Amino acid sequence: MPEIGIAGLIVILIVALLVFGPKRLPEIGRSLGRGMREFKDSVTGTGEEKAPELPRPPGDESPPTSPS
């Protein structure tokens, strides 16, 4: 498969600018960035989800202490 290179990227950007217009192009880039970030977070397992806490062992009824 041939490599794209700088000239190919410039041609692709010009065609995208002509097809979508200067007003819509930043919106498309922003949504693509969000989508890639969400995909990366879902694959690596990072994100806003917290790991489930382990249950306390039986007999440990003491309340947790706050760090000073």
- What percentage of residues in the chain have a pLDDT greater than 70? 71
Residue 41 has pLDDT above 80, yes or no: yes
Residue tagged 């989800």 (tokens): 49
Give residue for tokens 């000239």: 7
SS3 67: coil
Beta-strand ranges (E) seen in the chain are none
d(CA 2, CA 11): 15
* DSSP-assigned states of every residue in 7-57: HHHHHHHHHHHHHH-TTTHHHHHHHHHHHHHHHHHHHHT-SSPPPPPPPPP
The 10s digit of each residue's pLDDT in 43-67 is 887 756 565 667 776 766 666 666 6
Prediction pTM value: 0.49
